Chains A and B, each alone.
Chain A
Amino acid sequence: MNKAIDKTIIDVKNLSVYYGNCRVAHDISFTLREGETLAIVGESGSGKSTVLKAMMGLLDNGGRAEGSIKFHGDEVLNMTHDELKKIRGDKIAMIFQNAAASFCPIRKIGEQIAEGIKAHRNLDDSEIRSRADELMGILSLDESTWDAYPFRLSGGMGQRMGILSAMVLRPSVLLCDEPTSALDSVTQKAVASLLVRAKGIGTSLIVITHNMGLAHYIADNVLVMNKGEMVEIGSRDEIFGSPREQYTRRLIDAVPRLCKACA
């Protein structure tokens, strides 16, 4: 473990999330260090995305969070809108579950990405485009995609544009909410490789997924959730090699595998 990986970026302690009187996540604690990837796994409805939303102050419909979420030592739950605005999209970026749907359907994608960049950096259009072009090359996206409307893109292209939008400001933390759930297996692999690449340049990742294969492929640490509760947390090898909890074992055993004859 090198010195950089010891540096804590996000420290979540006893986080609980409520919608009215209904508790949807309870007593969640974890730490994310620089360059590290944490996968939060569990079934659909286990509260994974809720934790992510709470971390970024994106809870809607009267949701509220209790506990502590620290980003570089600053308490996120006490931040004002302006303070959150400074870190969201710039220092912390997010890839949404359905990234194509994270673009406003009636405006061109490039226009929306540029707007997000301009909200944080004083860059002119040519600088923005050159940054985007660099990533578009890596993501195998055609240049015309920049001027396309969201509904013109396939699921994979939309997802890759979502990733581009999140990564173009080179954030220190990338939050990924089911980044591969809507994709075919080939594109899933490409997206996973890209996330590994981001990790390689020092970006810390929190990946929400119910895809245990992706979690195994990408994560340093894994947090298992069930019905809003934290089941267990540990290194990837601990969770996949010797899970302590029955629920974790069930999750791992439920992964479909190719039979020996097919493999």
Chain B
Amino acid sequence: MRKYHALIPFVILASLLLVVALFAPAIAPLDPYAQDLSVALLPPDDTYLLGTDRYGRDVLSRVIVGSRTTLGASLALLIVISVGGTLIGAVAGYRGGKIDTALMRLSDVALAFPAMVFAIAVAGVLGGGLVSAAVAIALISWPKYARLARGLVLQMRSMPYLAAARFAGRSETEILIYHVMPNIAAPIIVTATAHLGTLIMEMAGLSFLGLGAMPPTAEWGAMMNNGRSLLQTSPWVILSPGIAIFIAVSIFNMLGDKLRDVFDTHLNE
């Protein structure tokens, strides 16, 4: 029970982040895209709590609205990667034989490339934009889930309840959907929660390099890129989205750790 208590603050913080992202336009105090060069690069004050950028846009509003872009894109990407990768791994592990060999060699190929270098290359080939960045990251990230799911399914394949389900008349597809997938969900969810932090950094990283979100979209990585040359003169422009990334990544990493603790307890029971 104590483990559940340790989880609560991180669930609250993560929920808070998601709520901010969801209602960002309503929460942002000013228009994040409104330019006013007369107030460019103002330091934080009562009107502009986190200052303004080189175009006079309110940094706080852009950080708030940027949370929607960064978290939304990362979350959507996470769902696609984790579901797709898990399905591939589960089918490979459950079916075995040539299907397993083919899918795992494919994952070996994906794992053989240095992740970020490959993502930069793919995003470069596909052209800029959030979708290109997401495709690039998806191509290097799915084997993580495929390998995990395959390992879990291999462990489970000889469990009596699968034989019992087969005996009771379940088809192989039904067994995979109703018995295998729910039983591997817990470690996959734990991994995915901790992975969300990494994805936020990767998405922001590609945007920082100019291969993700395009101007004037408010996105944390792109905002940092925008403030790169102002680090010494107007540090708030780059530090604000940087700190936002730090906070979001920390929350999801710690939430993943705590979730792991909770699920480990269940396993120990």
**B158 in contact (CB, < 8 A):** yes
B167 and A104 contacting across the interface, CB-CB below 8 Å: no
Question: In the complex, A116→B174 CA distance in Å?
Answer: 13
Question: In the complex, A85→B168 CA distance in Å?
Answer: 7
| Distance in Å: Cβ of B101 to nearest Cβ of chain A | 14
**A97 in contact (CB, < 8 A):** yes
Other contacts beyond A56-B167, A101-B161, A119-B170: 20, CB < 8 A? A53-B163, A60-B157, A60-B158, A62-B96, A62-B97, A85-B169, A88-B167, A89-B167, A97-B160, A102-B160, A103-B164, A104-B161, A104-B165, A104-B179, A104-B182, A104-B183, A105-B161, A107-B182, A116-B169, A119-B169
Some 12 contacts from A to B, beta carbons below 8 A apart, are: A53-B163, A81-B171, A85-B169, A88-B168, A94-B164, A97-B160, A101-B159, A102-B160, A103-B161, A104-B161, A115-B168, A119-B168
What 0/1 readout, one digit per residue, does chain A (51-68) give for beta carbons within 8 Å of chain B?
001001010111000000
Question: In the complex, A154→B169 CA distance in Å?
Answer: 27
B169 and A102 contacting across the interface, CB-CB below 8 Å: no
**B269 in contact (CB, < 8 A):** yes
A151 and B269 contacting across the interface, CB-CB below 8 Å: yes
Question: In the complex, A62→B170 CA distance in Å?
Answer: 19
| Distance in Å: Cβ of B59 to nearest Cβ of chain A | 47
| Interface size of A in residues (CB-CB distance below 8 Å) | 27
By beta carbon, the residue of chain A nearest B170 is: A119
Interface residue ranges, A against B (CB under 8 Å): 53, 56, 58, 60-62, 81, 85, 88-89, 94, 96-99, 101-107, 115-116, 119-120, 151
By beta carbon, the residue of chain B nearest A101 is: B160
The binding surface of chain B is classed by DSSP as helix
B169 and A120 contacting across the interface, CB-CB below 8 Å: yes
By beta carbon, the residue of chain B nearest A92 is: B167
Q: Which of A88, A97, A101, A105 contacts B169 (CB 8 A)?
A: A88
**B166 in contact (CB, < 8 A):** yes
Best-surrounded residue of B158, B161, B164 (most CB of chain A within 10 A)? B164
What 0/1 readout, one digit per residue, does chain B (163-194) give for beta carbons within 8 Å of chain A?
11111111100000011001100000000000
Known contacts: A60-B157, A88-B169. The answer to whether A96 contacts B183 by CB under 8 A is no
